[in-house]
Amino acid sequence: MAEVGKRLKEIRAERSMNQEQLAKILGLKRSAVSELERGDRRLSADELSKLARALSVSADYILGITEKPEVVLEALKSSSMQEKRIRISVPQKNVEKFKQALLYITSEVGARPNVGETVLYKLLYFMDFDYYEKYEEQLIGATYQKGPYGPVPVEFEAIIRQMIDEHEIEMHSRIYHEHEQKKYLPLKDPDLSVFTGREIDLMNDVIARLAYMGARQISDYSHQDVPWLTTSSGEEIPYETVFYRTPAYSVREYSEDGEVSED
């Protein structure tokens, strides 16, 4: 039980969650979570299932049966990989657009004190889902998972690691409003030639509308968007759900008869 508790504590720390937040997910008192992490209390099957869904890991990983699966982009894979991995097929073109979008966002607003990793996640999400709703085409085409604090771009970790290794971006960790904040700053200019004019316009619109928000505010804002609301915890958020958005979140223009207006 001690090993399970230790692993649970590590997973919780990775997601910047405190014991009170995890207790709320499980429907337990904070003291019960503390007992779980110390190994003084055994996980029930129902609690294990809730934990796996809320923390977006497998039950086997929590129990120490398997190693944590690592997201690996097809464009980054190596023939020498031995451990189990989740493969997400992302065309090289989309990987490049993801990288250039990160460079563009961080060059525009990365230095703002409120813009850390959580805000970046949500800016990318709204860029992708707003563009898909408006034009029925992919902008970056990243995969987003429903996490406890809003949509999470699954490919982010692998791509940002590659960008740091290649000295394209740098990460700084600091305390901001009593919470750890990961900030990313560009080390090179973005290549905007990979985007169309309307893609750049939409990215600018999302930045103008949302980049002033802090992590909590933009997370709460994302929680009211239909794609996040209608997806189960830990599951991939379907792009098609943008067509059921409420007027407050919809970016698509309709004529009075309900047809889509021409640009």
- Which residue carries 């049966």 as its tokens? 65
Q: What is the mean pLDDT of residues 207-211?
A: 97
| pLDDT confidence of residue 117 | 93
How far apart are alpha carbons 42 and 150 in whole angstroms?
29
Nearest to 101 by CA among 123, 118, 117, 119: 123
C-alpha R_g of the chain: 20
- Of the pLDDT bands very low, low, confident and very high (cuts 50, 70, 90), residue 115 is very high
Give 140-193 pLDDT, tens digit per residue.
999 999 988 899 999 898 899 899 999 999 999 888 777 788 999 999 999 999
Q: What is the mean pLDDT of residues 95-111?
A: 95
The mean per-residue pLDDT over the stretch 44-72 comes to 65
Per-residue model confidence (pLDDT) at position 78? 42
Distance of alpha carbon 149 from alpha carbon 216, whole angstroms: 8
pTM beyond 0.75: the answer is no
| Amino acid 175: pLDDT | 85
Alpha helices by DSSP H, listed for 86-187, are 92-109, 117-135, 156-165
Close Cβ partners of 217 (under 8 Å, ≥ 6 residues apart): none
Q: Grade residue 23 by pLDDT with cuts at 50, 70 and 90.
A: confident
CATH of 2-63, one of 1.10.260.40, 1.10.3720.10, 3.40.50.970, 3.40.640.10: 1.10.260.40
- Determine the average pLDDT of the residues in 121-125: 97
Q: Which of 188-192, 234-238, 258-262 has the highest mean pLDDT?
A: 188-192
What is the residue extent of each domain of the chain? 2-63, 92-244
Q: Which residues, 6 or more positions from 241, have their beta carbon under 8 angstroms from its beta carbon?
A: 226, 227, 230, 231
Q: Residue 83: helix, strand or coil by DSSP?
A: coil
| For the chain, counts of helices (H) and of strands (E) | 11, 6
